[in-house]
């Protein structure tokens, strides 16, 4: 008995492999999406607050060339910070966040800069509105200051970067919670 040469089996096999790859890719995309929240869960409110906090940092971290905006970019606030809480530059940032209604009305927040001062990792609270509750959320954004930003910025970054002459990477943490 002689078998016939049938190449359709190979095509069906390849088609099955490609179809399974597409289905797995769609499933992976859906599972990694932030918007899958069952409305009855306790985490739904926290996820919405996290999205608001994250969006606030994205809006603040806009490009310098956006002439339509009256808010300075986050990099400008970080570069102008002199290492002390409650200074004028941070008060201006605080006013922009609250007056522009970037966060909902019943939300309080703290803003923290985490940076390396060549010996250790330091964390400084630059805007303080109280002690976060247990259900607080933390959104983060990395800001990199190069030599040009440091030379035109405050003396605080100049003293930290005096011996290294490397870009400074600062983690900006926005901690938000409902009242």
pLDDT in tens, 91-121: 777 777 777 778 888 889 899 999 887 778 8
Residues 126-146: pLDDT tens digits?
A: 888 889 988 899 999 998 888
pLDDT at 168: 81
Is 14 part of a structural domain of the chain? Answer: no
Angle between helices 88-99 and 43-60 (to 10 degrees): 120
pLDDT at 25: 92
Residue 22 has pLDDT above 80, yes or no: yes
Considering only residues 42 and 117, tell me which one the structure prediction assigns the higher pLDDT: 117
Is 115 part of a structural domain of the chain? Answer: yes
Is 24 part of a structural domain of the chain? Answer: no
Of the pLDDT bands very low, low, confident and very high (cuts 50, 70, 90), residue 24 is: very high
Is 7 part of a structural domain of the chain? Answer: no
Residue 67 has pLDDT above 60, yes or no: no
Is 1 part of a structural domain of the chain? Answer: no
Residue 71 has pLDDT above 70, yes or no: no
pLDDT at 117: 76
pLDDT at 78: 83
pLDDT at 171: 92
Is 33 part of a structural domain of the chain? Answer: no
Range of the domain at 150: 40-178
Residue 2 has pLDDT above 70, yes or no: no
Residue 23 has pLDDT above 90, yes or no: yes
Query: Which of 75-79, 98-102, 163-167 tops mean pLDDT?
Result: 75-79
Q: Please provide the DSSP assignment of the chain as one string.
A: ------THHHHHHHHHHHHHHHHHHHHHHHHT-TT---TTSTHHHHHHHHHHHHHHHHHHT--TT-TT--SPPHHHHHHH--S-TT-HHHHHHHHHHHHTT-S-TTEEEEEEEEEE-SSSEEEEEEE--S---TT-EEEEEEEEE-HHHHHHS-HHHHHHTTTT---EEEEEEEEEEE-
Q: How many domains does the chain have?
A: 1
In terms of pTM, does the model score above 0.75?
A: no
Is 47 part of a structural domain of the chain? Answer: yes
Residue 70 has pLDDT above 70, yes or no: no
């Amino acid at each position: 008995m002689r078998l016939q040469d049938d190449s359709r089996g190979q095509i069906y096999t390849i088609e099955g492999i490609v179809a399974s790859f597409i289905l797995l890719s769609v499933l992976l995309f859906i599972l990694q999406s932030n918007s899958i929240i069952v409305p009855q869960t306790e985490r739904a409110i926290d996820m919405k607050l996290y999205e608001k906090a994250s969006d606030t940092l994205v809006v603040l971290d806009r490009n310098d060339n956006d002439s339509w905006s009256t808010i300075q970019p986050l990099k400008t606030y970080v570069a102008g910070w002199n290492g002390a809480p409650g200074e004028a530059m941070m008060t201006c940032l605080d006013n922009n966040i609250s007056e522009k209604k970037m966060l909902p009305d019943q939300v309080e927040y703290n803003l923290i800069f985490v940076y390396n001062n060549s010996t250790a990792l330091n964390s400084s609270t630059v805007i303080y509105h109280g002690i976060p509750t247990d259900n607080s959320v933390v959104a983060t954004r990395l800001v990199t200051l190069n030599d040009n930003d440091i030379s035109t910025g405050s003396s605080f970054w100049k003293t930290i970067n005096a011996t290294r002459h490397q870009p400074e990477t600062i983690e900006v943490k926005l901690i938000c919670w409902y009242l």
